[in-house]
Amino acid sequence: MTAPGTGRGIGNGERAAEITTTFVGLPRDSFRILHVSTGNVCRSPITERLTRHFVTERLGVLGGGLIVESAGTWGHEGAPMEANAETVLADFGADAAGFTGRELLDEHVIRADLVLTATRDHRAQVISMGHSAGLRTFTLKEFTRLVNAIDPATLPSLDEGVVTRARALVRAAAALRGWLLAPTAEADEVYDPYGAPLPFFRSVGDEIHQALDPVVTALTGVPTRA
């Protein structure tokens, strides 16, 4: 899906204010990760379901208040995941069942504790929606680079809960953002495989996996199983 995204969502201030009022008062016992791409049928579904799968591999269950979602800046509301994306997930043993595409809305950004985007353009679109999203919105590869520079010993232990550890991780990454720049602009991009053959989808899946692995390790405190 290479059509330019618009970060479409609730277009008037009154409705956005209503949503803000609704969600600001939620109890802080959960941590929402929102993956964002363009159509929400290729990259962000792969990233969403791989995140769930890799967390479950490490912890035995996806829980502890961790919620993983996705949406698209030009999202195909209700659309199924691309067949090649499902195949990529199957390669990793991850579950693609029940997925439907979503258009990115203000409420998704408001509720998210961490937004991970496929590209810098998606990141800019999320931030332009407002809701103080700047400090919690990164490209996936940008976040990986920052996470790799964080000493795990400085993070809360898993005994304090995944939510507490995840919030500390985001704060630490945001503090490092201005110091650890990408070597090239392309280094922070995951390119769109929409319409490409399966081998390209698999290369994108491998790219997402390599970026997610240190992030999930930092979130859970558990390294990849041998």
d(CA 110, CA 133): 8
Q: Which two tokens stand for residue 224?
A: 């990849």
Model confidence band, residue 12 (pLDDT cutoffs 50, 70, 90): very low
Lowest mean pLDDT among 24-38, 108-122, 163-177, 204-218: 24-38
What pLDDT is attached to residue 6? Answer: 37
What pLDDT is attached to residue 154? Answer: 95
In the chain, % helix, strand, coil (3-state, to 5) comes to 50, 10, 40
| Cβ–Cβ < 8 Å for 34, 108 | yes
Model confidence band, residue 27 (pLDDT cutoffs 50, 70, 90): very low
- Using DSSP's 3-state secondary structure scheme, residue 124 falls into helix
All residues at 6 or more sequence positions from 101 whose CB lies less than 8 Å from its CB, including other chains: 39, 40, 41, 45, 72, 75, 76, 77, 78, 79, 80, 81
Dmax (CA) for the chain in angstroms is: 52
- Using DSSP's 3-state secondary structure scheme, residue 129 falls into coil
- Residue pointed to by tokens 């000493």: 151
Segment 73-88 mean pLDDT: 94
Lowest mean pLDDT among 33-47, 51-65, 148-162: 51-65
- Residue pointed to by tokens 């390294």: 223
pLDDT digits (tens, 9 = 90+) for 119-137: 999 999 999 998 899 999 9
**CA-to-CA separations, 65 to 25, 28, 52, 206, in angstroms, rounded:** 17, 9, 12, 27
Ordered by start, the domain boundaries in the chain are 31-220
Model confidence band, residue 17 (pLDDT cutoffs 50, 70, 90): very low
All residues at 6 or more sequence positions from 31 whose CB lies less than 8 Å from its CB, including other chains: 65, 66, 67, 113, 114, 162, 163, 166, 167
CA 132 to chain centre: 17
CATH architecture of the domain 31-220 equals 3-Layer(aba) Sandwich (3.40)
Average pLDDT, the chain: 86
pLDDT digits (tens, 9 = 90+) for 139-198: 999 999 999 999 999 999 988 999 999 999 999 999 998 887 878 878 899 999 999 999
| Cβ–Cβ < 8 Å for 32, 23 | no
What pLDDT is attached to residue 135? Answer: 93
Residue positions counted in the chain:
226
Model confidence band, residue 13 (pLDDT cutoffs 50, 70, 90): very low
What pLDDT is attached to residue 8? Answer: 39
Q: Which two tokens stand for residue 214?
A: 């240190």
Model confidence band, residue 63 (pLDDT cutoffs 50, 70, 90): confident
Model confidence band, residue 75 (pLDDT cutoffs 50, 70, 90): confident
